[in-house]
């Protein structure tokens, strides 16, 4: 997975940096609960986020596999289905050992735009082009409504999250770069075989999937039957996680609807933003 090529023989898209070069540690992402290091990619103007496996803290509800493996698998699934929402990510050796290396959305090549994808507004004052998720209260007692933008790419991200069984889709994990392109980051707690979808992107809950996402699901479902894909995912994820990925993909193709929040699991991450 450190070659820059995807399973099935697909080459790295034109203009996408080679993430296999030498890494120079620039600093640490302080707010990360696990060790996440900002690195400079030698010979390029790019930066990456490097998450070494040995810097991970064990999670009681994700006892198997690694956060790094799930980060890489999320990128692979996003690319296989044609969502292309997760920044390029590979598994490779680095200064602190094996870990995931992901293109950093925030360097001069991919500056983060000010366009919010998820935000809060005064209670009940949902602006045009936005969808309500839930009402809440700030720490100072202000009643607010959490909303997300009603955009096709964000809707597709909601479908991808359902495929990944994302247990932590916060608003801050949804970024637009200077071109307006949507990127989704932080996928270390995905792929659990039990239903654990926890997200702020519930605005389309229960609605029919759009045709483009049905096509992406069909493309992913076909890819999951390829030996190279199965092998790659088997290296990155526990066997039960890979099996559940196929099961969720087929279920979404069968229902062709956005899932509804579960009554047996918290449906929104904390903090939501």
CB 267 within 8 A of CB 261: yes
What pLDDT does residue 27 have?
Answer: 74
What pLDDT does residue 20 have?
Answer: 92
What pLDDT does residue 29 have?
Answer: 72
Q: Going residue by residue through the chain (273 aa), what tens digit of pLDDT does each one get?
A: 343 445 544 455 656 888 999 999 987 775 665 678 999 998 888 999 999 999 888 888 888 999 999 999 999 999 999 999 999 999 999 999 999 999 999 877 778 887 889 999 999 899 999 999 999 888 888 899 999 999 999 999 999 999 999 999 999 999 999 899 999 999 999 999 999 999 999 999 999 999 999 999 999 999 999 999 999 999 999 999 999 999 999 999 999 999 999 887 789 998 888
Q: What is the rounded CA–CA span in Å between residue 230 and residue 239?
A: 10
Q: Where are the alpha helices (DSSP H) in 165-223?
A: 211-223
Q: What is the rounded CA–CA span in Å between residue 120 and residue 133?
A: 10
pTM above 0.85, yes or no: yes
Instruction: Estimate the crossing angle of helix 211-223 against helix 239-255, to 10 degrees.
Output: 150
CB 78 within 8 A of CB 93: no
3-state secondary structure of 167: coil
* Residue whose C-alpha is closest to residue 48's, from 22, 85, 77: 22
CB 197 within 8 A of CB 167: yes
What pLDDT does residue 14 have?
Answer: 59
Q: What is the rounded CA–CA span in Å between residue 82 and residue 217?
A: 9
For Cα atoms 208, 210, 216, give the angle at the middle one, nearest 5 degrees: 120
């Amino acid at each position: 997975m450190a070659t820059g090529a995807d399973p099935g023989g697909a080459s790295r898209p034109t203009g996408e940096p080679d993430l296999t070069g030498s890494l120079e540690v620039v600093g640490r992402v302080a707010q990360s609960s696990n060790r996440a290091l900002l690195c400079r990619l030698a010979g390029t103007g790019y930066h990456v986020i490097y998450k070494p496996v040995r810097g991970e803290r064990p999670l009681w509800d994700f006892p198997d596999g690694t956060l790094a493996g799930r980060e890489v698998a999320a990128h692979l699934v996003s690319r296989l289905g044609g969502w292309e929402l997760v920044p390029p990510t590979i598994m490779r050796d680095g200064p602190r050992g094996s870990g995931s290396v992901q293109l950093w959305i925030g360097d001069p090549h991919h500056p983060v735009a000010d366009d919010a994808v998820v935000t809060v507004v005064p209670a009940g004052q949902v602006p045009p082009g936005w969808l309500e998720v839930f009402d809440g209260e700030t720490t100072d007692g202000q009643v607010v409504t959490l909303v997300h933008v009603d955009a096709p790419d964000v809707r597709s991200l909601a479908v991808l999250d359902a495929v990944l069984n994302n247990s932590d889709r916060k608003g801050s994990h949804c970024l637009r770069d200077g071109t307006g392109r949507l990127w989704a980051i932080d996928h270390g707690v995905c792929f659990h075989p039990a239903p654990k979808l926890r997200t702020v992107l519930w605005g389309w809950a229960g609605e029919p999937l759009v045709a483009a996402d049905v096509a992406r699901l069909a493309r992913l479902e076909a890819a999951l039957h390829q030996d190279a894909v199965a092998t790659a995912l088997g290296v990155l994820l526990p066997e039960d996680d890979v099996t559940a990925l196929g099961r969720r993909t087929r279920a979404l193709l069968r229902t062709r609807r956005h899932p509804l929040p579960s009554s047996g699991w918290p449906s929104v991450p904390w903090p939501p933003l």
